[in-house]
Amino acid sequence: MKKYKYLKETRLIKIKKFLFSFTMQVILFSVLIVSFLALCIFLFYQKLTGFSTFNPIDNVPNILREERVVETSSSVDDDSSIDEKKDSKDIRKNIDSNPTKEEKVSDGSSFLYDSKKNEGNLCDYDFSEWNKTCPPELRVVNGSNPIPKDFKPKSLKKFSNRKSDKYKDVRNSVEVSGEVYDSLTKMVNDALKEGVEVFVGSGYRSFDYQNNLFQRKLKEVLKNEKNREKATKIASKRVAKPGQSEHNYGLAIDFYPIDYSFEKTSGCKWLLENAWKYGWVLRYTRENMKDTGVDYEPWHFRYVGDYAGEVKNYKSLEEYAVAKIKQRG
């Protein structure tokens, strides 16, 4: 009888041990599953929002970075929600015959100007007098010097990109101002003769289109910032308001790809060496952010025509214009 009781107790202990070990395994397994799901959700969110821990502006020297609220290119480029893509297709239906290819818009417009901090910087300079009297291709267009609301380029032309095996998303054609069409075409063809492919990602943007970009950015900001005035301010730092972008003026081109990977392309290297010969200058450099009020953008070139040889010797178009104003006396 005693022996039987002993056996019963041993079996009970074994069952308890088994249950304990089983429970622990279930808990461990659940923790692993939850962690895995959390990782999946995080990756999905990252893909959906374009949020990235990689900040391309990290290339910018520290001194410049500290002085400005730097906007990453990706946040400006990525108008990437599904609804937004649908909207932008509608806007561009007259521009691009292939509606499946999206124009990736990075604006020369992530405004970083802080009136208190950057007092005296050239991006706040009033160029209205200069703009009235200078040749049209030297006109300064920035956050403090917008073009009139009724401005339209004299003519618009479709620039056709070559088919690219490397870049499937590059648009078939991009609308550019008639003033820049010939020089742009010659430049791209000459680059090709030297074995370098250059693609145009963005050219002229109408006020409506620019306004749509701005409104979409504002809508996005309003999700987190309920104060409309504050939200407008934040949005305008990321996407230029209509009239404040050189693309509205028609004399700016964004080469493809419109992100910091462009810096590594043979096209970028070729343009840095040769674009001035065709009338183009890199507009937003690492060195001139205080003058322009815009982040460094290796893809954004500005047409200044016959003056390119002169302008390239200055840090920025703003600095060039001020030097000319001083010469006038």
Binding site for Zn ion (CB under 5 A): 108, 254, 300
Residue number, 157 or 300, with CB nearest to Zn ion? 300
Query: In Å, how far from its chain's centre is CA 8?
Result: 74
Tokens read off for 133: 């009297």
Residue number, 70 or 231, with CB nearest to Zn ion? 70
CB of residue 287 to Zn ion, shortest distance in Å: 18
Residue number, 184 or 231, with CB nearest to Zn ion? 184
Residue number, 84 or 297, with CB nearest to Zn ion? 297
Backbone φ and ψ for 141, nearest 5 degrees, come out as -120, 120
CB of residue 261 to Zn ion, shortest distance in Å: 16
Euclidean distance between CA atoms 300 and 247, whole angstroms: 10
CB of residue 32 to Zn ion, shortest distance in Å: 47
CB of residue 299 to Zn ion, shortest distance in Å: 7
CB of residue 217 to Zn ion, shortest distance in Å: 15
Element spanning 54, H or E: none
* Cβ within 8 Å of residue 176, ≥6 positions away: 156, 157, 158, 159, 184, 200, 203, 204, 250, 253
Long-range CB pairs of 214-221 (<8 Å, 24+ gap) are 214/239, 214/240, 214/241, 214/242, 216/79, 216/84, 216/87, 217/79
Residue number, 218 or 282, with CB nearest to Zn ion? 282
